[in-house]
C-alpha cells in the first residue's frame, strides 16, 4: 500500500498489488483476479494530479501506482538514475 500526499491535508492510499485495486469500475469483465499493471479501461476512484519534481510534467497520481517515488511521474520513475554520494 502506498500513501501519496495530493494536498495540504489530503492523502490518497494506493494499492501497489494491481491497478484493478485502484479502479472505480464495480463490475469489470477484464478483471480475472490476476495482477494487472496496465489497463486501457482504468478509471481512478478519485482524480488527482501532481507536478513531477524532476521534469515538471503533470501526471495523474492513480496511474503511477507502482512508483518508487510518488513525487516523480511514471516516465521519471522508469528511468535508472545513479546516485552519487
CA distances from 71 to 24, 28, 31, 35 (A): 23, 30, 28, 24
Residue 42 inside a domain? The answer is: yes
- Give yes or no for a contact between 63 and 74, defined as CB atoms under 8 angstroms apart: yes
- In a domain, residue 38? The reply is yes
Residue 31, domain extent = 2-78
Work out the pLDDT band at 51, boundaries 50, 70, 90. Answer: very high
Q: What is the pLDDT of residue 80?
A: 59
Q: Identify the residue with better confidence: 74 or 7.
A: 74
Q: Is the pTM of this model over 0.75?
A: no
More confident residue, 25 or 84: 25
7 part of a folded domain: yes
**For residues 13-23, b (16+ Cβ closer than 10 Å) or e, as one string?**
ebeeebbbebb
84 lies in some domain: no
Number of independent structural domains in the chain? 1
Assigned domain for 85 exists: no
Q: What's the rounded Cα separation, in Å, for the pair 64 and 5?
A: 13
Across the range 2-16, mean pLDDT stands at 82
Amino acid at each position: 500500500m502506498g500513501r501519496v500526499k495530493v494536498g495540504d491535508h489530503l492523502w490518497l492510499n494506493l494499492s501497489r498489488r494491481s491497478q484493478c485495486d485502484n479502479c472505480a469500475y464495480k463490475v469489470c469483465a477484464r478483471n480475472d483476479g490476476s495482477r494487472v499493471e496496465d489497463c486501457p479501461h482504468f478509471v481512478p476512484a478519485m482524480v488527482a494530479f501532481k507536478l513531477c519534481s524532476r521534469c515538471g510534467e503533470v501526471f495523474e497520481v492513480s496511474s503511477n501506482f507502482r512508483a518508487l517515488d510518488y513525487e516523480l511521474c511514471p516516465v521519471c520513475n522508469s528511468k535508472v538514475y545513479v546516485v552519487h554520494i
